[in-house]
Structure 1
Amino acid sequence: MLRNITITPVLNGFVAQVGCQQLAYTSVDKLVLDVGAYLRDPEATEKRILKEEGFNAKHTLGGAEAPAPYPQVNAATDCCAGEPQPTTATGVGAMLGGLARR
């Protein structure tokens, strides 16, 4: 099935959105080759790109084990004392609420 293609120029190349997938390209030649291949055979090109170049390719298509998740950050112990600490309330309501308590 041929999906909609949107190509957006960015600072160091292009972002091609094909359906709900986004691919980043730093080479216009590679972008043109992939778009041409996709227009000729969408299913085969999608499978190839997802398998070889997709962000989650090795995890969703039977490759290597998923990488370990990033460690959880504990602001109370992992941040330096001089760094600003995260707050639980954000937005205008929290700011106004903070002003009202002063």
Structure 2
Amino acid sequence: FPSAPSTLPSRHCQHGADSEFTDDELFYYLLGSSVLWGLFMGLHSSPLEALFGDSVESGNRSRVYVWRSSLRTLGSAIGPLASVFVFLREDEWTLDQLTVTLLIGM
């Protein structure tokens, strides 16, 4: 993999001098977590969709799917909006701010 951590200036991601992890280690932990998250989403999505479809009466599926899609879209918008508000508040990032932003975005 390319050395992505070197493309991020460390002055913008200050995790403290007493941190036990290097920037490279943190990047690869995040990369590994993203891979695991993607695998989980891929494995559970199909059975969940089938269960959801079978749980709703045929006449009501359209309305329920519209609600579900709307809620997913709203949820997908909240994370980036939170990121924008955190960024507008301050341009210096701390580990706590990044953690909150990532958790809200997920």
Q: Using structure 1 for the length normalisation, give the TM-score.
A: 0.25
Q: Which has the higher contact order (CA 8 A, sep 6+)?
A: 2
- Greater helix fraction, Structure 1 or Structure 2: 2
- Greater strand fraction, Structure 1 or Structure 2: 1
Q: Using structure 2 for the length normalisation, give the TM-score.
A: 0.25
> Which structure is larger by alpha-carbon Rg, 1 or 2?
1
